[in-house]
Amino acid sequence: MNQTEQITRQTFDQVMAPNYAPAAMIPVRGEGSRVWDQEGKEYIDFAGGIAVNCLGHCHPALVNTLQQQASKLWHVSNVYTNEPALILAKQLIDATFAEKVFFANSGAEANEAALKLARRYANEHFGEHKDQIIACHHGFHGRTFFTVSVGGQAAYSDGFGPKPGAIEHIAYNDLAALEALISDRTCAVMIEPMQGEGGVIPATDEYLAGVRALCDKHNALLIFDEVQTGVGRTGALFAYMNSPVVPDILTSAKSLGGGFPVAAMLTSDSIAASLKVGTHGSTYGGNPMACAVASAVLAEVNTPEMMANVNAAEVQIRQRLADINDQYQVFAEVRGKGLLLGAVMNDKYQGKARDFLTAAVAEGLMMLVAGPNVLRFAPALNITESEVSEGMDALERAVAKVCQSSD
Ligand SMILES: *Cc1c(COP(=O)(O)O)cnc(C)c1O
């Protein structure tokens, strides 16, 4: 009996906790920026597993690395170190401001480590009173209770009982709001250099520079959550590299593993020193399989050719979106950078982003939304011109259908 023959979308409702509402089709195979479902229908993938599959599906270099490592050593825990973890840490340090690395398995865990480290550091250097964490409305930092409380969406953090304390939220890109709130009691400011889940909203350079200056003035650590923006997504290895500032702590996940779960927290020697033996940990963090794959991802992504492809694909998508909008008038604006782009619904289509996503799937295109009003693009960084073109053709058909049915 072939078990997969009986696995359908209905099975999901029978056996899975109902916290997700996946699309009707079930993908079974992927290659580059193409995916096939159970029925053999082909899709162009502009979703990239939520900005994760930065080299598309089953990239030969990653498959090869994973197979090699799988026949060598899977797991030893952090009671022992391992070569792939040390190689990856060196790579990350060579490529960034960082001097020390902590590995985790997900973005939330990397952020949890960053927040705990910031609290420890402040406590050690300035005293217990310095515990305030400032973050932004509509920010997203993960789903552990600490990170979801620092995230700026009450819908995700409410209803779970008492939250971790000393967390305050302000408007994104509003330097005056931060200036009014920050004080010597502030231990850290956590922000995304471009808000992803919150609607693909880039920070301005002036804002980031101002945040950096205020953090310096009040001895608060600046934490950049680059879980979504990192590893080439915005056309630089990390978004901070195209900004006027360097953070004190940076977190990376999503694209870091290209589809294999891995995350990293990067920081300086002096800040990392507060993570003394036993203060924090993870059984899987730094797992050899994950780290071997991430090393291969970095080697493939961190090249001028790959960054040039990201920028070229951005231009192509923006051009096609402008053409589609000339014809159908659905978007108020297109924002974002590199291959993290958001097409914002205009007044007529408020709250309708998901309708376009559903129509796109029917036309053979996998897309994302970012809230009710933004259609989000996060394709593979190595997507080709013809794949972008095919995907945009499918999107154009989807837009035509949605417009027709709403007239
Ligand atoms: C996705 C995301 C996270 C959470 O990552 P998980 O791997 O789902 O825990 C945190 N921060 C940002 C900015 C993200 O986009």
Per-residue pLDDT tens over the stretch 217-234: 999 999 999 999 999 999
Residues 293 and 319 reside in one and the same domain: no
The domain tally of the chain equals 2
Is residue 378 domain-resident?
yes
Question: Domain boundary residue among 286, 301, 316?
Answer: 301
**Of the candidates 307, 304, 301, 327, the residue with the CA atom closest to the CA atom of residue 392:** 327
Q: Quickly state the pLDDT bin for 3 (edges 50, 70, 90).
A: low
The question of whether 352 is a catalytic residue gets the answer: no
Side chain identity at residue 290, one-letter code: A
**Is the CB–ligand 1 distance for residue 199 below 6 Å?**
no
State pTM to two decimals. Answer: 0.97
Does the residue 1 lie in any domain? no
Domain assignment of residue 185, given as a range: 73-301
Is 68 among the domain residues? Answer: no
With 70 as the cut, is the pLDDT of residue 383 above it? yes
Same domain, 275 and 135: yes
171 within a domain of the structure (yes/no): yes
Q: Is residue 276 part of a domain?
A: yes
Residue 4 above 80 pLDDT? no
The predicted pLDDT at position 406 comes to 82
Domain finish residue from 282, 301, 320: 301
For residue 46, give the CATH number of its domain. 3.90.1150.10
Mark whether 137 and 195 lie in a shared domain: yes
3 domain-assigned: no
The verdict on whether residue 252 carries a ligand-binding annotation is no
Residues 148 and 264 in one domain: yes
Is any ligand 1 atom within 6 A of the Cβ of residue 84? no
Q: Is 225 a catalytic residue?
A: yes
Instruction: Annotate 218-251 with DSSP letters as a single string.
Output: TT-EEEEE-TTTTTTTTSSSSGGGGSS---SEEE
- Tell whether 156 and 256 lie within a shared domain: yes
228 is in an annotated binding site: yes
Residues 297, 310, single domain; the answer is no
**Using CB atoms within 10 A of its CB, is residue 402 exposed (0-12), middle (13-18) or buried (19+)?**
buried
**Domain identity same for 93 and 47:** no
Catalytic residue among 102, 140, 224, 377: 140
pLDDT at 135: 98
Same domain, 225 and 279: yes
**Mean predicted lDDT score pLDDT of the chain:** 97
Q: Are residues 83 and 97 in the same domain?
A: yes
Whether ligand 1 lies within 6 angstroms of the CB of 140 is answered as yes
Same domain, 318 and 296: no
| pLDDT higher than 50, residue 1 | no
21 C-beta neighbours (distance < 10 Å), count: 8
- CATH code of the domain in which 189 resides: 3.40.640.10
Decide whether any atom of ligand 1 lies within 6 Å of the 228 Cβ.
yes
pLDDT score, position 239: 98
